[in-house]
Amino acid sequence: MGNDPSSYKDKKVITIGIVRELTGLSERQIRYYEERKLIFPERSSGGSRKYSFSDVELLMEIANKIEEGVQTHEIRQEMVRKQKGQTKEELRKKMIQGQINAQFGFRKP
């Protein structure tokens, strides 16, 4: 198995009914979090929502934050900040790797 073992977590194969059972959230709550752009399920050819294990974990985090009194727009802002932070970190790593490659004369094949 040459695949990344965590990749199964990102496959969108779980129906909303199963997500409901796993998370304890109602279908209405799950759809609301989608409307608020906190979760992004894929759609099957028949239009059914499909979620991943990563989505289930994210929904649990969202539910815990809501229970603590955090508003959905605050959760969304935090998600955007995290994405930007990861992007900056990835860019920084690429720049450093480029500097190392240039210093030691490494070239990409």
Residue (of 98, 12, 5) closest to 58 by Cα position: 12
Fold assignment, 5-70: Multidrug-efflux Transporter Regulator; Chain: A; Domain 2 (1.10.1660)
Domain ranges of the chain: 5-70, 80-109
71-105 burial, b for 16+ CB within 10 Å, e for fewer? ebeebeeebeeeeeeeeeeeeeeeeeeeeeeeeee
Residue-level pLDDT at 1? 45
Model pLDDT for residues 6-56, shown as the tens digit of each residue:
688 999 999 999 999 999 999 999 999 999 999 999 999 999 999 999 999
Model pLDDT for residues 52-106, shown as the tens digit of each residue:
999 999 999 999 999 999 999 999 999 988 888 777 777 788 888 888 888 887 6
